[in-house]
Amino acid sequence: QSKGIIFDLDGVIVDTAKFHFLAWRKMSNNLGFDITQEQNEDLKGVSRVLSLQRILKWGNKTVSEEDFQRLMTEKNEDYLSQISSMSENDLLPGMGKILDYLTQNNIPFALGSASKNARPILKSLKIYDRFAAIVDGNDVTKAKPDPEVFLIAAEKLNMKPEDCIVFEDALAGIEAANTARMISIGIGDKNVLQDADYNFADSTEIEIEFLEKLVRK
What is the contact surface with ligand G16 in residues (CB under 6 A)?
8-11, 20, 43-48, 51, 76, 113-117, 137, 170
Catalytic residue among 8, 163, 189, 202: 8
From the list ligand G16, Mg ion, none, partner contacted by residue 174 (C-beta under 5 to 8 A by kind): none
Question: Which one of Mg ion, ligand G16, none is in contact with 46 (Cβ closer than 5 to 8 A by kind)?
Answer: ligand G16
Q: Least distance to ligand G16 from the beta carbon of 145, Å?
A: 11
- Answer yes or no: 197 catalytic: no
Q: How many Cβ atoms sit within 10 Å of the Cβ of residue 75?
A: 21
Q: How far is CA 150 from CA 75, 91, 99, 174, 204, in A?
A: 26, 22, 19, 11, 24
What is the three-state SS of the chain? CECEEEECCECCCECCHHHHHHHHHHHHHHCCCCCCHHHHHCCCCCCHHHHHHHHHHHCCCCCCHHHHHHHHHHHHHHHHHHHCCCCHHHECCCHHHHHHHHHHCCCCEEEECCCCCHHHHHHHCCCHHHCCEEECCCCCCCCCCCCHHHHHHHHHHCCCHHHEEEEECCHHHHHHHHHCCCEEEEECCCCCCCCCCEEECCHHHCCHHHHHHHHEC
Q: How far is the CB of 64 from ligand G16 (least distance, A)?
A: 21
Near Mg ion by CB under 5 A: residue from 4, 11, 161, 188: 11
Q: Is residue 170 a contact point for Mg ion (CB under 5 A)? A: yes
State the binding partner of 116 from Mg ion, ligand G16, none, CB within 5 to 8 A by kind: ligand G16
* 117 binding partner (options Mg ion, ligand G16, none; Cβ < 5 to 8 Å by kind): ligand G16
Is position 112 an interface residue for Mg ion (rule: CB under 5 A)? no
Residue 175 is a binding residue for Mg ion (CB under 5 A): no
Question: Pick from 136, 148, 169, 175: which binds Mg ion (CB under 5 A)?
Answer: 169
10 is catalytic: yes
- Shortest gap between Cβ of 212 and ligand G16 (angstroms)? 26
Which residues would be at the binding site for Mg ion (CB under 5 A)? 8, 10-11, 45, 169-170
Catalytic residues: 8, 10
